[in-house]
Every structure is written in structure tokens, then in C-alpha cells.
Amino acid sequence: LHRRTIVFRREGDRLQIMVEASLEGPDGIERERRRFDEPSDEAERYIKEVRAKFSGVAQR
């Protein structure tokens, strides 16, 4: 699971900040990618859910 912060320069010298979370398989191939607006907690919730899901699979 990779988390990246992406900063875009917008019109009028404004900055837009996004968070990207991507899930890679053991072979290094990206399986899923999601982008979120930085100010929201949605990205952190998504990352926690994916980690919990895969830690449960690993424990079986």
C-alpha cells in the first residue's frame, strides 16, 4: 500500500493538494488506485480499511 501527496498548481497561483493511495500486488503490479482531496479524512479511512482487510487475510 503506497500513499502519495500530490500538489498541483492551479490558475491564479492556487495550490491543490491531493492524496493518492495505491495497492500493489506481491508482483509489483498496481491493483487499485484512489485519489482523495487532502483536507478530508476519507483517504486515511480508506488506507486503514485496506490495511485491516489485508491483515485479516494474512492471519487466516
Those residues with Cβ within 8 angstroms of residue 19's Cβ, 6 or more apart along the chain or in another chain = 3, 4, 5, 6, 35, 36, 37, 38, 43
Cell match 490495511: residue?
51
Q: Which three cell numbers stand for residue 55?
A: 491483515
pTM: 0.67
Domain limits at 23?
2-59
Residue pLDDT, tens place only, 16-46:
999 999 998 889 899 999 999 876 789 889 9
User: Hey, which residues does 22 pair with through a beta bridge?
Assistant: 2, 33
Is residue 53 within 8 A of residue 45, CB to CB? The reply is no
- The number of domains in the chain is 1
User: Hey, which residues does 6 pair with through a beta bridge?
Assistant: 18
The pLDDT value recorded for residue 45 is 92
